[in-house]
Amino acid sequence: MKRLSFAALAAGAVVVAGGAHAATFLVSAMGNSSTDGSALSTISLTSGEIFQVSVDPNDLWSAGPLPRWSNADGLTGNRVATGTDESGEAAGTLIGQDFGTWTQNGLTAPFGTLVGEINGVFHVLGTSFSGAAWDTGTLNLFYWDSNNFDNSGSISADVTAAAGVVPEPATWGMMILGFGMAGAMFRRRRQLLQAA
């Protein structure tokens, strides 16, 4: 019975094993612009691995002169200064408004959006993203824009990836072997009890 318990525990540990990794990255509207900037490399992901990106909705960056301040969701509507935000403008001043969209590398998204890229494929992340990695590789972050010469500010993006609970192919073989051994032990025990 001890062998069975150990085999069952080992199989369970294999299923839930795996670590999570998380880090905070400072994404610059100028330096990490999708045009004339460079990618901000973050964490490595495996295709299908679940990850999350979270940005404070009050964390702002700018695509240029007023009214072009937005959060990581981009310039999608009117935004008014609070008097304490990154714009430095007086409370009530219109600092952001819908600025339309920009198309680049097969993606159309609002100007000022936080965008992620893995192996040349781009996706909108915004202030809150949770989903599966669309490819295996490094997640790169960008400020979505047609140029970077008048951009300013940066946002802090928390990127978290947890190892999936789905076992890898090599693990399946070990689990099947373990279940087979457990079944054999049960059959052997039943035979011994019937013989007695």
2-16 helix and 169-195 helix, angle to the nearest 10 degrees: 160
Q: Which residues contact 94 (CB under 8 A, 6 or more apart)?
A: 66, 67, 78, 79, 80, 81
Q: Each residue of 53-63: pLDDT tens digit?
A: 999 999 999 99
Does residue 189 sit in helix, strand or coil?
helix
Task: Note if the bond before 67 is cis, omega within 30 degrees.
Answer: yes
User: pLDDT tens, 25-47?
Assistant: 999 999 999 999 999 999 999 99
**Strand-pair partners of 10:** none
Dihedrals phi, psi of 25, to nearest 5 degrees:
-125, 140
CA distance 12 to 192: 28
Q: Measure Cα distances from 169 to 16, 133, 172, 176 in Å.
A: 15, 19, 5, 11
Q: Which residues contact 98 (CB under 8 A, 6 or more apart)?
A: 75, 76, 77, 78, 110
Is residue 187 very low, low, confident or very high in pLDDT (cuts 50, 70, 90)? Answer: low
In this structure, how many other beta carbons lie within 10 angstroms of the beta carbon of residue 192?
9
Q: What is the pTM of this model?
A: 0.74
**Count of CB atoms situated within 10 Å of the CB of 142:** 26
Per residue in 159-171, pLDDT (tens digit) is: 999 865 444 455 4
